């Protein structure tokens, strides 16, 4: 399942979808998101959506997605984002339900 971050949505919609990925994950189907270099990531940093400006925000979006239970992330900077995924996945292992 791909909620389509960035497609036909404004920045607010994309951030909300990203924040609520756990709801998609709770459906029991694999979830994939592709936040890599999407222009909505430029809004909080108040920069143009140049690739150099949004690599770090992409890492934050990838980490948030993994922590929310997303199974697959589509990215451009594979080596760097693989590190982000590994760390976020390790953190997720220690998550405890209230």
> Does the active-site annotation cover 37?
no
Output DSSP code: residue 76: S
Token output for 60: 């934050």
Start-to-end CA span in the chain (Å): 27
> Does the active-site annotation cover 93?
no
Chain centre distance of CA 69: 10
**29, 74, 86, 93: which is the annotated catalytic residue?**
74
- Whole-angstrom distance, CA of residue 98 vs CA of residue 95: 9
**38, 43, 79, 96: which is the annotated catalytic residue?**
38
Q: Known catalytic residues?
A: 38, 74
């Amino acid at each position: 399942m791909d909620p389509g971050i960035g497609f036909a949505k404004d920045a607010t919609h994309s951030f909300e979808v990203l924040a609520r990925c756990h709801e998609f994950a709770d459906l029991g189907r694999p979830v994939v998101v592709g936040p890599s270099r999407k222009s909505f990531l430029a809004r909080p940093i108040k920069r143009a959506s140049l690739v150099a400006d949004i690599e770090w925000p992409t890492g934050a979006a990838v980490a948030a997605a993994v922590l929310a239970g997303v199974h697959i992330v589509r990215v451009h900077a594979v080596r760097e984002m693989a590190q982000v995924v590994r760390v976020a996945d390790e953190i997720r292992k220690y998550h405890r339900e209230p």
